[in-house]
A and B are shown apart, each in its own frame.
Chain A
Amino acid sequence: MTKTVYFDNNATTRVAPEVVEEMLPYFHDLYGNPSSMHFFGGQVNRKVEDAREKVAALLGAKPDEIIFTSCGTESDNASIMGTLDRYPEKRHFVTTRVEHPAVWNLCPYLRSKDYRITELSVDRNGQLDLEELKSVIGDDTALVSIMYANNETGVIFPVDAIGEIVKARGIPFHTDAVQAVGKIPLDMSRQPIDMLSLSGHKLHAPKGIGVLYLRRGTKFSPLMKGGHQEKGRRGGTENVPYILGLGKAAELAMANMEEENTRVVALRDRMEKGLVESIPSTIVNGEGMSRLPNTSSVCFECVEGESILMMLDEIGVCASSGSACTSGSLEPSHVLRAMGVPFTAAHGSIRLSLSVYNKDEEVDHLLKHMPSIIENLRDISPFWKDFKEGKLPAAFAG
């Protein structure tokens, strides 16, 4: 078996060993309920509050603005549904065409509840037109939800500018920051954001823990109605070991922030440069844009993404694809199509996402094998010869 090279950190990350170590005692020894009146539960409660402070520090937030949830999707749902619930007379919701399904798939549901939805478009670089945003929001707009950074391309949206536009009109602003937290510095004390979602397993904490940042004074009604936990904003007994794990992961993310934005970004750039230089007709999506330091979305013309992934699997490299075939749906990634990436390339897209655990030699391994993988698949492709000679009918350009 080949050694595993893990380049799929936007899907999920390795749980940091320090995080596991932090969590373990809270399974077998310190298993108390933080709400209990006895010392056995109380000592756990103090640890939960410590973790809350660590997460708050990572976000530049106040501890009471941190609500622990089960995942990023829950945080997104809670912010959106919890806000709309408080403004029942306002019937307009604004988001983008490139959101994660956790937000995007709420739109058909909201439409069925008689909400008017605006999905902002993006340009070829994956960027929004802020003038369009200004023109669509109005007195009827209940909420604007726009992701911080795109999960497929890593393109970062100008959330500060967006937040200012939205808040100037007195409208609440939510951002799905699942891919951004831990990779780039955030500071809620300065940034015009009312609500923010994060997910533990994208920053080396386990799956099954998330956070909703809720700015003090933001109108909100809980999605999970139940006990008094999280100050009545999210019912359900605290997932203690995972909360502590996330606290530790937040601490590590702060410590690693510099490395992420120096060594990891350099590694990513070297990988992209290597691919583009050694393989003709290779496109880096969102190149030159402000992007997450770890993410690379690359299209290889005239080959199909699933085939690339399966060939990569043979050499132990884990990546993901925006192609239709990998998802079971029949259309390529909605993000790449929204960006107007031509069909010739959109089907042949793969995403390589790094972490601080990745090493130079892993990128070398990829760069060594990738040219022949793409060449072999292009030899099989009926379009490659015509494409190379510029003879492909214009209709294919999407």
Chain B
Amino acid sequence: MWEYTDKVFEHFKNPRNVGEVENPDGVGDVGSLACGDALHLTFKLDEEGKIEEAMFKTFGCASAIASSSALTEMIKGKSLEEAEKITNQDIADYLGGLPEEKMHCSVMGKEALDAAIAYYRGETPRKDPEDVVCKCFGISGQEIREVVALNGLKTVEQVTHYTKAGGGCSTCHPEIQEILREMAEQEEREKKALAAQSGRKLTNLQKIKLIEETMDREIRPSLKQDGGDIDLVDVEGDKVFVGFRGTCTSCPSSEFTLKGFVQEKLREFVSPEIEVKEMTP
């Protein structure tokens, strides 16, 4: 049995705004019977361009119905500019969370909203038939990239839970894996470029300040949980000298903590060139 929140149950049993708006301004259809879930969203705008009425019809499981119901409640009273900022995570949050395997229900809500807004604006749907990665569920590479970036997904399984892509015959798994690898590499490059850039600009004084800030925010809280602590002793160029305190001094894995944790954090937030050395008292 799925672990649904009370709010999911409540919206499933008493769905809000079921039906179709008469003479709608926006119409969004996503999913299909073959996929096992589908959402038909309609809305009407008032004189100020805000969503006055929003209604849905959904074929699907309890979380699909609850996500659709939540979506209509969330967009009512919003301008289209406000509504389009809603993410699938916002829909899941509104319901107090969804099981990961059911996150695709929130994504379906987001896609129906995007489709309905595009319909109102007279834009053609963005899906490029050449770009379809998952043929079973008709999911494009563009859709996968957007959901991966927004939700910080790392594995093919997660992509399946969020978009359904790869949930059928599984022949597209290598392609999804390739998208994930490309995106992770891209992210890594951007992070490095950012760190290198900020590293170059730092004066010595700024660097020391940034190291202290990073230690306070990223490093000390974890060490303190285990009864340890760390002091900054000196900085020479990219060499950072630190001293362990408390339980860290006698900890057999302090060498790992130094290189694997302290140095990694400082490289991430200060400069990728940093070399951490321990000063024993």
A-side residues, CB < 8 A to B, are 302-307, 310, 314, 323-326, 328-332, 343-344, 347, 379-383, 392, 395-396, 398
Contacts and interface: CB of A to CB of B under 8 A. Distances in A.
Given A330-B35, A383-B33, A396-B34, 14 more contacts: A302-B33, A306-B61, A310-B12, A325-B36, A325-B37, A329-B167, A330-B160, A330-B164, A331-B168, A343-B33, A347-B59, A380-B65, A392-B33, A396-B33
A381 B58 contact: yes
Interface string B36-73: 11111000000000000000011111101100000000
B173 to A, nearest CB: 13
Given A310-B12, A330-B167, A379-B18, A325 B33 contact: no
Contact of A304 (B32, B34, B61): B61
Interface string B1-34: 0000000010011010010000000000100111
B59 A303 contact: yes
A330 B29 CA distance: 20
B147 to A, nearest CB: 15
A87 B162 CA distance: 45
Nearest to B69: A380
Contact of A383 (B18, B59, B137, B168): B59
Given A310-B12, A325-B61, A330-B160, A304 B37 contact: yes
Contact of A382 (B35, B57, B102, B164): B57
A380 B57 contact: yes
Interface in B128-185: 136-137, 160, 164, 167-168
Contacts of B167: 329-331
Contacts of B101: 328
Contacts of B168: 330-331
Contact of A307 (B34, B60, B136): B60
Interface centre among B33, B65, B160 (most CB of A within 10 A): B33
B114 to A, nearest CB: 18
A145 B156 CA distance: 34
B33 A307 contact: no
Contact of A344 (B33, B37, B39): B33
Contacts of A398: 34
A325 B34 contact: no
B70 to A, nearest CB: 14
Nearest to A326: B61
B137 A330 contact: yes
Interface string B100-120: 011000000000000000000
Interface of B: 9, 12-13, 15, 18, 29, 32-40, 57-62, 64-65, 101-102, 136-137, 160, 164, 167-168
Contacts of A330: 35-36, 137, 160, 164, 167-168
Contact of B59 (A304, A324, A329, A331): A304
A344 B34 CA distance: 7
A325 B137 CA distance: 14
Contacts of B102: 325
A306 B8 CA distance: 14
Given A331-B168, A379-B18, A307 B36 contact: no
A305 B61 CA distance: 7
A-B pairs with the 10 shortest C-beta distances? Answer: A330-B167, A325-B61, A382-B57, A306-B61, A382-B40, A343-B34, A324-B36, A381-B59, A396-B33, A347-B36
Contacts of A382: 29, 38-40, 57-59
Contacts of A379: 18
A310 B62 contact: yes
Contacts of A306: 61-62
Contacts of B9: 310
B57 to A, nearest CB: 4
A331 B134 CA distance: 13
Given A314-B13, A382-B58, A323 B18 contact: no
Nearest to A348: B59
Given A344-B33, A379-B18, A304 B60 contact: yes
Contacts of A344: 33
Identify which of A302, A314, A328, A392 gathers the most chain B CB atoms within 10 Å of its CB. Answer: A328
A325 B18 CA distance: 21
B15 A307 contact: no
A380 B62 contact: no
Contacts of B59: 302-304, 347, 380-383
Nearest to B137: A330
A375 B149 CA distance: 40
A304 B36 contact: yes
6 contacts: A306-B61, A307-B61, A323-B61, A325-B60, A347-B59, A382-B40
B101 to A, nearest CB: 5
B12 A383 contact: no
Contacts of A392: 33
A331 B62 CA distance: 17
A309 to B, nearest CB: 9
Contacts of B33: 302, 343-344, 347, 383, 392, 396
Contacts of B29: 382
Nearest to A381: B59
Contact of B58 (A314, A331, A380, A396): A380
Contacts of B136: 331
A325 B102 CA distance: 8
Contacts of B37: 304, 325
Contacts of A343: 33-34, 36
